Amino acid sequence: MEDVDVVVAGAGHNSLITACYLAKAGYRCLVLEANAIPGGGAVTEELLGPGYAVDSCATGHTLMCTNPLLADDELGLMAAGSLTYVDPDPVAHVAFPDGGHFTMTLDRNETAAEFGRFSAADARAYERLLDDYAEVAPVFARAQHTPAGMGPPLDQLLAEHPRGRVWQRRRMLSAWDVVRTEFESREARAFLMWMAFQTNQALDIPGTGLLASSIVAGRQRRSWSVLQGGSGRLVDALVGYLEAHGGEVRCGQPVRRLLVEGGRCAGVETESGEQYRARRAVVSTIHVVHLMDMAPPGTWPEELEYAVRTYDVGIPGFGIYLLTDVAPAFQTPAGPVSAVSAGTVGWPEDLLQLGFDLRHGRYVEDVPWLLVATPTLVDPDRAPPGHHTVKVLSQQVYDLPGGPEGWPAAKEAQARRQLEHLRRSAPGFTDDHVLAMLVKAPPDFEASNRHMVHGAFHGGDRGVAQSGPGRPAPGWAGHRMPLAGLYQTGATTNPGGSITGVPGRNAARVVLTDLGIDPDAVLRPVHAGDGTVPHGVTGLTTAGAVGETARAAGGAA
C-alpha cells in the first residue's frame, strides 16, 4: 500500500482514532508502528503465559466511554458488538496505614455514608463536590473536546458560567489545596488523594486542582469501566475499522525521520531506511521529545524547541504483573473485601512527600500508594477458571542512584517490598498463591513503548505549564505543527494521557478541517446505511462537536 493519503507514525489508541475518522472520510491511511503489535498503552497480551489476557498498561476506560466516539458510536464500533464494558461495583477499596479502609460503591448515598464514618461534614462535602462538579462538567467537556483555536478557550467558557469563577481558581490550585479546603478528616483526604494520584501527578503542583473532583466524580457515575476481554479489544476494533475502510497498520516500522520537501512534511522514513510519502498529511504520535530530532535543523521555531527542552516527561511508573489463584482480599472488620480497583495509600503528608521525592529524582524504597487492578473479578474469561490476573502499580524514579542500568538487578527486590506493603492490608495474598510474576521498572516501560519516555505513563506532567494551550507548547496546542502537513496527537497533546481518545478525535477534527472537509459531517453518529463520507461532501446532518454523554460527563483524567 504505497498510494497513501495520510501516513500515521505510531499506532496508539489516539492515533488509530485519528486514522479511523480520516478513513471514514474516505482517505487511505497507512499507520506505521514501531512495536510488533499495534495499540501502545491499550494492548492486551499473554504476558505471563497462554490463556491469560493481561492488560500490559491500561485497564480502566472510564473517560473513553464518555468520548462521543463510543458514547455516540461515531464509528459504529459499539453497534458492531465487539465492545462490552463492565462497571465494577465496588468502585474502589483503599486501605489506610492504620488498618482502616474506605470502600466506594456506585451508590452515591452509600459512598457519602462511607465519608460519614470519618466525619459528618465530609459526607456533606462529598455530596457538594459531586453537585458542584456536575454543574461545570459540561463546560470542561466542551473545552476538552474542542481543539485549541477552534472554539472559546476554557477560561472564557468558565467566566461565562454563573459559578465558573470558582472553578477558574480551583483548577489553578493543586489537588491538595482543593482536598484540604473541602475535607477535614485525614481518611477522606487520603482516599481522595489516592484517586487523584492515578495519573501519577504530584498533588501539590498548581494546575492539578481539577483532579481532586473530576476523577472521583467520573468513578461515582460509572466506576472504573473495564472492557471485556481487555483493552486490546478496543485496538482490535479500531484496526478492524481502519482495514475495512481501505487503511493498513504496518508493525515493526519505527519512524526515525520526517521527510521535509519544499517546506512541507511529505512523509516519513523508518529505521530500515524505507520512505513512505503521504499525499495529504502526516499524523504523529511520536513523543515531542523525540520528534525534535526527526527534522532538519532550523525546522522548529524557538518557542517549540524551548517548550520541549523544558518539557517535564512526568513521574515514571513501576508495575508488578501476577497470575494468581486468589484475588487480593483486603481485611476489614466486616470481613474481606476484593475490588477490581483497589489499593493502599499513605496519609496526605506521605503522598505529598512521595510526589516531591519522585519529582526530584529520589528513589523511594517503600511507595505507600499502590493501585491493585484485578479485572478478572468482573471478567473471569481473561484467565482459566479460578485464576486471576493482578497488576500492582506504583510510582518510581527512572534513575537509581547508579543510573537506570541498576534496575535489572534491583527491580525484583523492589517488587517484593511492594508486595509486602500490600500484604499488610491483604495478608492472605501470599507467595504460594502466585503462579507467575513479571516486574517492569521504568526503563522496561520505556523499552516497550518509546512514547512512554522514562517510563512515564501519561505523556508528560499536567501542571499549569503543560496543560491546555501549553501542551505540548504555547502556540502549538492545536495539533498543527510548525511544519506544514504535520499534525501531532497522543498523550503529549491536550488533554494528555490516559485512555480517553480525546487527543485522537480532536486531531481528526483539525486535519479534516485543513483538508476542506466539514468535520461535523464525519464526527457524528453512524446510522444504519451510512457509508463512507466522500471527499468534499459537506453540510451533512451534524451531531455537534460534543455528544450528549460527553457533555454530561466531562473529566480530566
Ligand X SMILES: Cc1cc2nc3c(=O)[nH]c(=O)nc-3n(C[C@H](O)[C@H](O)[C@H](O)COP(=O)(O)OP(=O)(O)OC[C@H]3O[C@@H](n4cnc5c(N)ncnc54)[C@H](O)[C@@H]3O)c2cc1C
Q: Which residues are near ligand X by CB under 6 A? A: 9-14, 32-35, 40-42, 57-60, 254-255, 285-286, 317, 319, 393, 445, 449-452, 457-459, 490-491, 497-499
- The residue ranges of DSSP E strands in 2-115, in sequence order, are 6-9, 29-32, 44-45, 54-55, 85-86, 92-95, 101-104
DSSP 432: G
DSSP 505: H
Give min distance, CB of 287 to ligand X, in A: 6
Q: Which is nearer to ligand X, 285 or 414 (CB)?
A: 285
Distances (CA, A) of 189 to 27, 117, 212, 368, 434: 50, 13, 10, 15, 33
319: which 3 cell numbers? Answer: 508495575
Distance CA 226, CA 229 (A): 9
Give min distance, CB of 300 to ligand X, in A: 17
Q: Which is nearer to ligand X, 157 or 268 (CB)?
A: 268
Q: Which residues pair with 440 in a beta bridge?
A: 319
Distances (CA, A) of 446 to 188, 355, 417, 498: 34, 20, 22, 16
Distance CA 129, CA 213 (A): 7
Give min distance, CB of 30 to ligand X, in A: 12
Give the amino acid at 384. P
Give min distance, CB of 470 to ligand X, in A: 17
Give min distance, CB of 337 to ligand X, in A: 20
Torsion of CA 233, 239, 242, 248, to 10 degrees: -170
Q: Which is nearer to ligand X, 415 or 491 (CB)?
A: 491
Give min distance, CB of 4 to ligand X, in A: 15
Residue 273: CB partners within 8 Å, gap ≥ 6? Answer: none
The values of phi and psi at residue 336, to 5°, are -70, 145
Q: Which is nearer to ligand X, 458 or 480 (CB)?
A: 458
H-state helical runs in 145-231: 154-160, 164-172, 175-182, 186-196, 211-222
Distance CA 549, CA 132 (A): 18
Distance CA 450, CA 544 (A): 35
Nearest to 505 by CA among 493, 523, 486: 523
108: which 3 cell numbers? Answer: 452515591
Q: Which is nearer to ligand X, 189 or 454 (CB)?
A: 454
User: Dmax of the chain from CA atoms?
Assistant: 71
Distance CA 333, CA 336 (A): 8
User: Residue written as cell 485464576?
Assistant: 387
Give min distance, CB of 293 to ligand X, in A: 10
Q: Which is nearer to ligand X, 137 or 453 (CB)?
A: 453
Q: Are 489 and 14 in contact (CB under 8 A)?
A: yes
Q: Which is nearer to ligand X, 254 or 463 (CB)?
A: 254
Q: Which is nearer to ligand X, 9 or 329 (CB)?
A: 9
Q: Which is nearer to ligand X, 35 or 201 (CB)?
A: 35
Give min distance, CB of 32 to ligand X, in A: 5
Q: Are 450 and 245 in contact (CB under 8 A)?
A: no
Give min distance, CB of 198 to ligand X, in A: 8
Give min distance, CB of 161 to ligand X, in A: 27
Q: Which is nearer to ligand X, 93 or 186 (CB)?
A: 93
Q: Which is nearer to ligand X, 340 or 354 (CB)?
A: 340
Give min distance, CB of 254 to ligand X, in A: 4
Q: Which is nearer to ligand X, 44 or 449 (CB)?
A: 449
What is the number of residues in the chain?
A: 557
Give min distance, CB of 126 to ligand X, in A: 23
537: which 3 cell numbers? Answer: 461532501
